Structure 1
Amino acid sequence: MAAALLRRALLLRRVLPSPSPTPTLPGASAGRLLSAFTASQQNATTTVDLSSDESRRRLLNRLVYRSKQRGFLELDLVLGTWVEQHVHSMDEPNIRALLQVLDLENPDLWKWLTGQEQPPEDLNSNPVFTAIKSKVTDNLTKHASPETRSTPGQPWVRGWDDIKKGKDGPKYGNQ
């Protein structure tokens, strides 16, 4: 019985016309469409409209949300707290500087803020980045002993099991 049903299904498939392929734009490839979409998204996020109280409120709320919902917990906490405290007193050039910081990739931004890597020169001249970096540096100095930190310019390689250092554990990290 199952074989008979299978034969009938195959027969119907041969008899019925195949669906037409999905229409595509002439000369448009997926890569070009994606790049056009991302370019329009970037232009939409960099628009700074402070003409009315409502547009300013929406922009500031969007900036706070973007700084708290990056998907990188440490940056969510550091950036979200700093932006929430300072965004309401920012003028247009500082908001544009904040937008530049928020457009950076998470791993790079974290390494630059914590001093594991040197940031690019144009980022060193960004007032928002330098303010956040000084806040992170001050917190590291206040709350972390020097032996728990890596040397400046070096990645952090220490792990949660550093207490085993004297025993049979690894010298660095949790290898």
Structure 2
Amino acid sequence: MTQAETQPDAAETRLKRLRFRAWHRGIKEMDIILGSFADKELAGLGADDLDRFEALLEVPDTQLYNWVSGREPVEDAHDHDLFRRICAFEDLSSRI
């Protein structure tokens, strides 16, 4: 096998890295919310939405949880369709 054949595809590596980060947040509620979403939806996202998801992973857990739960308004930079999809994903209230 050549080195190229043994190297994982860059896109697949990115998805695996994002999925891992989504499941290893620090606050269990955010693990469940983002990890579950990542498991079912990441592979179908386009490059722009993957960038948005990655940016959301940079937001501190408590702040992101407050946005998702509606306790605080989401910052304009993260108020986009992907964020709303995450919030609506399989009725989050039953997950946390």
TM-score (norm 2): 0.82
| Counterpart residue identity of residue 62, structure 2 | P
- 1:131-170 matches, within 5 Å, as 131-135=85-89, 138-140=91-93, 143=94
- Could you say what the CA RMSD is over the residues aligned between the two structures, in angstroms? 1.8
Q: Tell me the SS of whatever aligns to 1:98.
A: helix
Output the CA distance in 1 between the equivalents of 2:42 and 2:83: 13
Output the CA distance in 2 between the equivalents of 1:86 and 1:139: 15
User: Quick check: 1:83 aligned with 2:20?
Assistant: no
> Structure 1: which 5+ runs fail to align?
1-52, 144-175
Output the CA distance in 1 between the equivalents of 2:34 and 2:92: 13
Q: Tell me the SS of whatever aligns to 1:71.
A: coil
**Number of aligned residues:** 88
- Correspondent of 2:9 among 47, 54, 59: 54
Output the CA distance in 2 between the equivalents of 1:60 and 1:89: 10
CA spacing shift, 1:99–1:139, aligned 2, 3 Å: closer
Output the CA distance in 1 between the equivalents of 2:50 and 2:41: 10
Deviation at 1:91, TM superposition (A): 1.2
Provide the residue aligned with 1:146 in structure 2: none
> Structure 2: which 5+ runs fail to align?
1-7
Which of these two proteins has the greater Rg computed from alpha carbons?
1
- 1:107-146 matches, within 5 Å, as 107-124=62-79, 126-135=80-89, 138-140=91-93, 143=94
- 1:57-76 matches, within 5 Å, as 57-76=12-31
TM-score (norm 1): 0.47
Ranked by relative contact order (alpha carbons within 8 Å, sequence separation 6 or more), the top structure is 2
Cα deviations across residues 109-128 of structure 1 (Å, max 9, x unaligned)?
A: 0000001111112221x222
Identity of aligned residues (%): 21
Cα deviations across residues 25-75 of structure 1 (Å, max 9, x unaligned)?
A: xxxxxxxxxxxxxxxxxxxxxxxxxxxx71111100000000000111000
Moved over 6 A (4+): none
Output the CA distance in 2 between the equivalents of 1:67 and 1:80: 5
CA spacing shift, 1:118–1:78, aligned 2, 3 Å: same
Deviation at 1:129, TM superposition (A): 1.1
